[in-house]
Amino acid sequence: MLTARAVHGDSSIANTSTFSASNVTQYIRDVSLRPVRHGGPSDIYMGRCSMSSGHIVKVALKVHRVAGTASAKLIRRLNREISVWQNVNHPCIHPFLGLYWGLSSSSLPAMVSPWCQNGDIMSYLAARERSGVDISSLKLDLLVNVLQGLQYLHGRNIVHADIKGANVLVSDDGVARLCDFGFSSMRAEHAPIISSDSSMKGTYRWMAPELFAHDRARHTKQSDIWASGCLFLEVQSGRVPYHTKYTDQAVIIALSNGELPIRPGNVSDPLWRLVQACCVTNPTARPSVDTVLQRMLLVRIGSGPEAGSSLSLDALSTAAVLTSVSRRVAARELLDMDEAAALLRISQNGSHAIQQRFGTTRSPVTPDPSLTALLRLCITKAWTSPVPSKSDETATLVRTAEAVMAVLVHFPAREKYLPSELQPLASLLSREDVGRRKSLISVFSSGASRF
């Protein structure tokens, strides 16, 4: 919260009543004489702000450049976009502090927000890598933050409309935060007024193909998902999407031809599968942000520290895994590669950690019912759907069974089965490893049938 400790400021050059957001001019001091950064059609100044705690914090003051006097239409639209920003509150959304008057000769105020010393996500990752830090896990952590912020926006029917690395800031405590959401649509509508060195609808390399379909095309939640897929590639590779295309025209032609961004060499199979899901030409075929976040959490788990080291299991990751398992069981489907990889990676943790996250509320030594149901499904499919040992169906069945059993073995109160019930599944497993059949029967068998 801002205090009533006035420092200085002159709001006489504009009508502050035009805008609904708080006027914090009196709490701002030491504003830089010139812009310290430029972002598309905006200039960014640095200043300091008095907070209720008595601390003075560094802030960014962002003002849109205009050619001449801003029109009433532009002011109304900017006010609407600012109103959206001031009413959102999430750890992964860059916070809005208020408006500062006096930087622009027009009627436009500067938008005040905390200064992020780490800069945007790409600058932050580059700096961390130069310092010798392994940033492979950090990249996925930051992308999870981005998707959490986007999930918050989409849940309130807010379209970001300009997702790219430059619009993801990293806070001083290392959290990725979306910024500049909604303003690209304002820039597009007022292209003749606002001087811009970027695309009127966003940035071409991150834009979904349908945005080029006609002049009145609008950004949607689905176009945000396409841009997110492009951001994944940018963050992972350190290069912009379509990096082999040297002009905007070449990018537009590629998009018109249905050409996806090239897969960089350091993008893993799981992450590439997620990019492909996001970047499908048909907007209605793209997953929701909820699904993309869930899949990104699975990618993060499966791509965690090497075997033998502890994997941090937070509540969000646990929920992503159990949601995947529950959905598969409900549909009587087996796990895909990424889901199985996540379970196998989790199984390498200590029993106590696994029981705390995947045990029932009443008894941590009893596994979540969805895990038990998944193993039952594997046993049933081994009985009722005999397939050749080298078929894709068998490979999927074996992969799923191995993953879920690797987790269930950590639970003393796991469900047990008659050896005869396990026989078909044990036979399939033993085709890869003769020791598996004996191990399966000894660990999961008892004298009481569960069927």
Closest alpha carbon to 376 in 322, 337, 422, 310: 422
| CATH of the domain spanning 16-114 | 3.30.200.20
Are residues 295 and 338 in contact, defined by beta-carbon separation less than 8 angstroms?
yes
Are residues 227 and 164 in contact, defined by beta-carbon separation less than 8 angstroms?
yes
Residue 372: both structure tokens together: 């038990």
Tens digits of pLDDT across the chain (451 residues): 343 333 333 333 345 666 767 889 989 999 998 889 887 678 899 999 987 777 899 999 998 887 777 778 778 878 888 888 888 999 999 999 999 988 865 568 899 999 999 999 999 999 999 999 889 999 999 999 999 999 999 999 999 989 999 999 999 999 999 998 755 444 444 443 333 344 444 488 999 999 888 778 889 999 999 999 999 999 999 999 998 888 888 998 888 888 888 898 889 999 999 999 999 999 999 999 999 999 999 999 988 655 444 567 788 889 999 999 999 999 999 999 999 999 999 998 889 989 999 999 888 899 999 999 999 999 999 987 655 556 788 889 999 999 999 999 999 999 999 888 888 888 888 876 666 666 777 889 875 444 4
Q: Rounded to 10 degrees, what is the CA torsion of 216, 217, 218, 224?
A: -160
When computed from its CA atoms, the radius of gyration of the chain, rounded to whole angstroms, is 26
Domains of the chain, by residue range, sit at 16-114, 121-298, 305-444
Cα(257)–Cα(265) distance, integer angstroms:
23
Q: If you search the block for the tokens 């992964």, which residue do you land on?
A: 92
Say which DSSP state 45 is in: E
Are residues 441 and 434 in contact, defined by beta-carbon separation less than 8 angstroms?
no
| CATH topology agreement for domains 16-114 and 121-298 | no
Core vs surface per residue 41-68: b (16+ CB within 10 A) or e: bbbbbbbbbbbeeeeeeebbbbbbbbee
pTM for this prediction: 0.86
Mutual angle of helices 392-408 and 369-384, in 10-degree steps: 150
Say which DSSP state 211 is in: G
Q: How many residues does the chain have?
A: 451
Phi-psi region of 122 (alpha: psi -120 to 50; beta: other; left: phi over 0): alpha
How confident is the model over 247-296, as pLDDT tens digits? 888 998 888 888 888 898 889 999 999 999 999 999 999 999 999 999 99
Closest alpha carbon to 85 in 3, 4, 167, 140: 167
Are residues 42 and 100 in contact, defined by beta-carbon separation less than 8 angstroms?
no
Closest alpha carbon to 18 in 77, 64, 60, 85: 77
Task: Give the CATH fold of the 121-298 domain.
Answer: Transferase(Phosphotransferase); domain 1 (1.10.510)
Residue type, 84: V
Which burial class, exposed, middle or buried, applies to 73 when counting CB atoms under 10 A from its CB (0-12, 13-18, 19+)? exposed
Strands 168-170 and 176-178: antiparallel
How confident is the model over 186-234, as pLDDT tens digits? 444 444 333 334 444 448 899 999 988 877 888 999 999 999 999 999 9
3-state secondary structure of 408: helix
Closest alpha carbon to 275 in 256, 262, 257, 258: 262
Cα(255)–Cα(293) distance, integer angstroms:
25
